Amino acid sequence: MDIKAQLLQVKTDFESDLENTENLQLLNEIRVKYLGKKGVITSVLKSLGSLSVEERKEVGLIANQIKDFIEESLKVKEEKLKAKELEEKLKREYLDVTLPHSWHSIGYSHPVIATLNEITSIFVSMGFSVESGPEVESEDYNFTMLNIPPHHPARDMQDTFYLNNGMVLRTHTSPVQIRTMLKKKPPIAMVAPGRVYRKDLDPTHSPMFHQIEGLVVDRDVTFRDLKGVLKIFLETIFGKDIPIRFRPSYFPFTEPSAEVDIGCTVCKGVGCKVCKETGWLEILGCGMVDPEVFKAVNIDPQEYSGFAFGLGIERIAMLRYQITDIRLLFNNDMRFLSQFEGIG
Ligand code: FA5
């Protein structure tokens, strides 16, 4: 076959190769096959040297036309294939923005923690600072410096977990009163939320529960101040119309002492199982700081006076959400807990 015929054959072969090419990788192989260094066109062009000048001109012209044709055709096909690939990719990666999204819950506060945070923030809004202390506490801070000497029967009021090393699991948040008064000089207005422990287990008592302690120490602090602060707090949390009563009581670290009752939130004072038919619910303990406590932390009781209070958080959460068994709060049953989504 002469060179001209060869070239025409090359063109025909190229056209059929191109026709059968359906992706960019094959297209590149065709480019190499026809236009590469060792490609068909290059080798035809190299062989032109063996021709006469006339023939070389003629064949050279045809060869270059075919080369241009191949280059142009490759370019057009490349664009087509690229467009096709893009279209397929878009189809493959189609995103239906109207589909419902998969649900990931972001979590929410436990009803006890939500109540604790809410109570803390009410006192913070009245100017109280927030203090903390350890859950493993010395007997001194948990009892002795709070005017409960060793072997005093008052220690039995709070069934205590004793540890082997002579420490205790704190039975109340009151030791944070001692820690704060040792650390800070009056005026003091602080609350101390935290976990406490007692050997207790029944529908209204748990071996681990939460308390929040309050302490105010300054010159001329009176029982009226205590009543005012607690009234604001209880009305904020239970509503303006909540009946409140102060009942004389006894705590070794306050004198005089009181317990505060609110009108039963379940029966509205008529009498029911929750309030044991009394119409009232005990909500917290409080009183004026006993001079013996001031002496233990080197604060002069002639110069300063103060009040303190302590309340159980679970008790408040149970009243607010009408929970009848404290153990529900600690079983971690999602059917129970999920009812509190969005409360805090
Ligand atoms: C005290 O713990 C005193 N420290 C409170 C106090 C502080 C009085 C400052 C005066 C001045 P009491 O033992 O009553 O007091 O406990 C306070 C509250 O903790 C109770 O009213 C009750 O709501 C809650 N509480 C007590 N034991 C448990 C328990 N086992 N489970 C859940 N809540 C409890």
pLDDT at position 343 is: 75
| 315 vs 211: CA distance, rounded Å | 9
Domain that holds residue 30: 3-92
167: CATH: 3.30.930.10
229 and 290 share a domain? yes
Cα of 210 from ligand 1 centre, angstroms: 9
Instruction: Give the H or E element holding residue 234.
Output: helix 223-238
Q: Is the pTM of this model over 0.85?
A: no
CA–CA separation, 41 vs 34, rounded Å?
Answer: 6
Provide the CA 111 distance to its chain's centre, in angstroms: 14
For the Cβ of 158 lying below 6 angstroms from any atom of ligand 1, the answer is yes
Q: Does one domain contain both 74 and 128?
A: no
Per-residue burial over 280-313, b = 16 or more CB atoms within 10 Å of its CB, e = otherwise:
bbbbbbbbbbbbbbbebbebeeeebbbbbbbbbb
Answer yes or no: do 204 and 319 share one domain. yes
Same domain, 332 and 194: yes
**pLDDT score for 283:** 92
Residues 69 and 120 in one domain: no
Which of 92, 126, 148 marks a domain boundary? Answer: 92
Output the pLDDT for position 249.
97
Q: Which atom of ligand 1 is nearest to the CA of 316?
A: 23
Are residues 78 and 170 both part of a single domain?
no
- Give the number of C-alpha atoms closer than 13 A to the C-alpha of residue 144, restricted to the C-beta side: 10
Residue given tokens 């009408």 in the structure block: 322
CA-closest residue to ligand 1 atom 31: 205
Determine the distance separating the centroid of ligand 1 and the alpha carbon of 315, expressed in angstroms.
Answer: 9
Residue owning tokens 């002579």: 166
Mark which of 62, 92, 122 sits at the end of a domain: 92
CA 241 to chain centre: 34
Task: Count structural domains, the chain.
Answer: 2
Residue 101 lies in a domain: no
Same domain, 171 and 316: yes
The finding on whether 285 has its CB within 6 A of some atom of ligand 1 is yes
Q: Are both 174 and 28 inside the same structural domain? A: no
CA end-to-end span of the chain, whole Å? 91
Atom of ligand 1 lying closest to residue 286 CA:
10
276 and 196 share one domain: yes
* Residue 272: other Cβ atoms inside 10 A: 14
Tokens of 282: 């005990």
Query: Tokens in use for 336?
Result: 């129970």
**Residue 80 DSSP SS3:** helix
Phi-psi region of 214 (alpha: psi -120 to 50; beta: other; left: phi over 0): beta
Tell me if 329 sits within 8 A of 111, measured CB to CB: yes
Q: Are residues 202 and 133 in the same domain?
A: yes
Cβ neighbours of residue 82 closer than 8 Å, sequence gap 6 or more? 24
Residue type, 101: H
Q: Which of 171, 211, 305 to mutate to test the pocket of ligand 1 (most atoms within 8 A of CB)?
A: 211
Q: What are phi and psi of 215, to 5 degrees?
A: -150, 130
pLDDT tens for the 344 residues of the chain, in order: 678 888 888 899 999 999 998 899 999 999 999 998 888 888 887 888 888 888 888 888 888 899 999 999 999 999 999 999 999 888 888 888 888 887 777 788 999 999 999 999 999 999 999 999 999 999 999 999 999 988 887 677 668 999 999 899 999 999 999 999 999 999 999 999 999 999 988 888 899 999 999 999 999 999 999 999 999 999 999 999 999 999 999 999 999 999 999 998 888 889 888 788 999 989 999 999 999 999 999 999 999 999 999 999 999 998 888 888 899 999 999 999 989 887 76
What is the pLDDT at residue 1? 60
Tell me the residue ranges of DSSP E strands in 161-302. Answer: 168-169, 188-197, 208-218, 244-251, 254-263, 280-289
Distance CA 100, CA 117 (A): 34
Task: Please report the pLDDT score of residue 107 as a whole number.
Answer: 82
Does residue 29 sit in the same domain as residue 130?
A: no
Nearest by Cα to 30 from 46, 14, 50, 44 = 14
Whether residue 104 is contained in a domain is answered as: no
Of the CA atoms within 13 Å of residue 80, those in its CB half-sphere come to 12
Backbone angles phi, psi at 194, to 5 degrees: 170, 175
In a domain, 97, yes or no: no
Q: Which two tokens stand for residue 64?
A: 């270059």
Note whether residue 246 is domain-resident. yes
Q: Tell whether 102 is covered by a domain.
A: no
Same domain, yes or no: 185 and 278: yes
DSSP count for the chain of H helices, then E strands: 11, 9
- Whether residue 227 is contained in a domain is answered as yes
Q: The tokens of 297 are what?
A: 């932390």
Residue 103 forms part of a structural domain: no
pLDDT confidence of residue 157: 67
- DSSP state for residue 157 in the 8-state scheme: G
